[in-house]
Structure 1
Amino acid sequence: MNTFPWGEASATGVGSHPGEDHAEAVRVVFGELPALPYLPELPARGVGADMVGRAASLLVELAVEVQPSGWRFTDRPGRDAKRARDHLLRDLDALEEAAQGYEGPFKTQVCGPWTLAGAVELRHGDKTLADAGAVRDLAESFAEGLAAHVAEVRKRVPGATEIVVQLDEPGLPGVLAGTVPTASGFGRLPAVEAPVAAERLRAVLPAGAFPIVHCCAPGVPFTVIREAGARGVSLDASLLRRRDEDVIGESVEAGLAFFLGVVPGTDAALPDVGVVARPAVELWRRLGFSPAVLASQVVLTPACGLAGASPGYAKAALAACRRAALVLREDPGE
């Protein structure tokens, strides 16, 4: 019996799309990914549509603005914070129109707290990540704002049977390894211990949703993600390392879903569906798990966001993932 919100042989996208026409992007998503559509992000629209600005616009009682060095906390929201909020509201309006009559699971995604803490600067100092108290305050504010965002998505997609919430954490491996640069760029911020990283991540996971964590950087911290309470992990299949397969196997046995990026995020020749699906099929075969659960526990996606792709390629990449997902229902041993 499938214990995941989506049906067998599902595909979805990571999040970002090319161009500035959100209404068109959301139509493409619903057209190409009927099993697990999502709210696309269009960073080409500029400041406020970027991953960090979009997430910062959700913060409650923590104001931000853009400085030459990037996003920074301030006493009152700047015009760029308002622009970010306006982008999101327009996106939700377009989503509401496109989702009329839709029934099924729906995914939304937002920058996670650790990547956000490594990007947003304090009012008069270093990055938020440098101050444990500031990280705690950010996580609490973000948790409240994310919960409100998920509630709004539910309102805009009344036919959603479950909301899948993806936290984008490309910065998490660096946070754990102590490789995040200071604001000056001349030093590195101290590493965060794994239990603390898991605790802060757990604190922002919205109740009543199906949380997954996306990490497109090498060294995906599977154990931290699982211990935080995430129900799935999203990653580029090309980053799978043989030495990680023990912890991957443990994660599969624990019921963690895997969103595997199997086509490039920028324009490239797309191979046939068997080649696209091969990384998932071969991983399952090496780990020795039953083929019967492959098509439900694994969801195929592009390797990363599609912001750098052409509109035509973005649509083709999503279609390739959708068709390749059907291969997962076949017996890998055949």
Structure 2
Amino acid sequence: MSDQGWVWGAGAATGIGSLPGTDIAEAQRVVLGELPALPHLPELPARGPGADLIGRTGGLLVELPVELYAARWRVAPRPGKDLRRARDLMERDLDQLAEQAEEYAGPLKIQAAGPLTLAATVELPIGGRMLRDPGAVRDLAGSLAEGLRGHVEAVTRRLPRACVLLQLDEPALPAVLAGRVPTESGLGMYRAMDQADARSLLNTVITAAGVPTVVHCCAPDVPVELIRTAGAVGIALDLSLVTDLDPLGEAIDAGLGLLAGAAPTTAPAGRAPTSAEVADRVRTLWDRLGFPRRRLAEQVVVTPACGLAGATPAYARSILAACRDAARRLSES
């Protein structure tokens, strides 16, 4: 690990999390084969409830059971079949990973929804998102923190030579801070959360996990400085959504790692971009930020712009390969 806390080596590439299909063994083979420097635990939401980001993370919560109701996740009075399914899927995924990556030694990324996105998505038993109740949000963050600590330990037990990197997915974070999360009626919005409160909730989870943590947000207006000061070692962004370079440049200058989402999740021109095109996109941003090229390969990990669940299997594989080869190009230039 570097002085800045980066768990990855120079010239690394990884995926954001989700992949198409329902075969976890095949998905893991693809990831381990295409992303040897920084593989990640694949997520396959096409398997149904409990394999989606919210259900998968809900299965990790401690003493806060969740269930599906009208196709939405909500807090449940007691553990039920939906929770069992989510936990069973995760157990099978980890067992399969242990089998395929038994000898793996190096960084390994795992993903979970962050506390703000969970609060903006999971509903209270009485209705309404957890976001409406600050006490419930604190309880949720505490439950997630304890659950992720246990999840990290479960991964480490299975792969004792791996170095775990945690990714918290926070697509709803900008909306939570701006008061743009709609109420169930659609007629109003939940009150904006104070930045200090959001930072504290993120820090609670990051500190408890006990491993280097990056925060992923594939939305405009990402609060980069909030994420850095919450204790994250890196930030994962869709480069096409970055419009204000100053906050990102200041955070990178302060030592924040960048997971650069440089490859589109669908084929805009009917083909996957080449590794040279992906590398040029990352290099162009880095040059605009004004940092020396020698830092690029160390501080930046090349990734797709977001998850690949909506891509075809062939496109997903070609994008991961393009990211891998782009990262190598950047480390050699």
TM-score grouping bracket, smaller chain normalisation: over 0.9
Native 8 Å contact 2:108 2:164 kept in 1? yes
Which amino acid is the alignment partner of residue 116 of structure 2? W
SS at match of 1:109: strand
1:199-278 mapped onto 2 (5 Å cutoff) = 199-205=200-206, 206-241=208-243, 244-267=244-267, 268-278=270-280
CA distance in 2, matches of 1:74, 1:124: 10
CA distance in 2, matches of 1:69, 1:103: 40
Shift of 1:24: 0.6
SS at match of 1:192: coil
Q: Percent identity?
A: 55
Shift of 1:100: 1.4
**CA separation of 1:141/1:135 partners in 2, compared to 1, >3 Å: closer, same or farther?**
same
Partner of 1:282: 284
Partner of 2:173: 172
Which amino acid is the alignment partner of residue 321 of structure 2? A
CA distance in 1, matches of 2:105, 2:299: 21
Shift of 1:272: 2.5
Native 8 Å contact 2:215 2:234 kept in 1? yes
User: TM-score, normalised on structure 1?
Assistant: 0.95
1:42-121 mapped onto 2 (5 Å cutoff) = 42-121=44-123
Native 8 Å contact 2:152 2:209 kept in 1? no
Native 8 Å contact 1:2 1:296 kept in 2? no
CA distance in 1, matches of 2:156, 2:133: 34
1:9-28 mapped onto 2 (5 Å cutoff) = 9-28=11-30
Shift of 1:274: 2.0
The Cα offsets for residues 218-265 of structure 1, whole Å up to 9 and x where unpaired, read as 111101111111110001111111xx2111111111110100111111
Which amino acid is the alignment partner of residue 247 of structure 2? V
Which amino acid is the alignment partner of residue 67 of structure 2? E
Shift of 1:330: 4.3
CA distance in 2, matches of 1:141, 1:45: 25
CA distance in 1, matches of 2:80, 2:209: 30
Partner of 2:330: 328
5+ residue gaps, structure 1: none
Shift of 1:207: 4.4
1:309-320 mapped onto 2 (5 Å cutoff) = 309-320=311-322
Partner of 2:186: 185
SS at match of 1:48: coil
Moved over 6 A (4+): none
5+ residue gaps, structure 2: none
Native 8 Å contact 2:272 2:315 kept in 1? no
SS at match of 1:322: helix
Partner of 1:141: 143
Which amino acid is the alignment partner of residue 174 of structure 2? P
SS at match of 1:180: coil
CA distance in 2, matches of 1:41, 1:187: 33
CA distance in 2, matches of 1:78, 1:51: 18
1:287-298 mapped onto 2 (5 Å cutoff) = 287-298=289-300
The Cα offsets for residues 79-108 of structure 1, whole Å up to 9 and x where unpaired, read as 111111111011001110111111111100
CA distance in 1, matches of 2:209, 2:61: 17
Native 8 Å contact 1:66 1:78 kept in 2? no
Partner of 1:302: 304
Shift of 1:208: 3.2
CA distance in 2, matches of 1:16, 1:195: 30
CA distance in 2, matches of 1:247, 1:218: 13
CA distance in 1, matches of 2:165, 2:113: 14
Which amino acid is the alignment partner of residue 106 of structure 2? G
Which amino acid is the alignment partner of residue 272 of structure 1? T
Partner of 1:195: 196
Which amino acid is the alignment partner of residue 255 of structure 1? G
Partner of 2:128: 126
What is the alpha-carbon root mean square deviation over aligned residues? 1.3
SS at match of 1:141: helix
Which amino acid is the alignment partner of residue 127 of structure 1? R
CA distance in 1, matches of 2:296, 2:233: 16
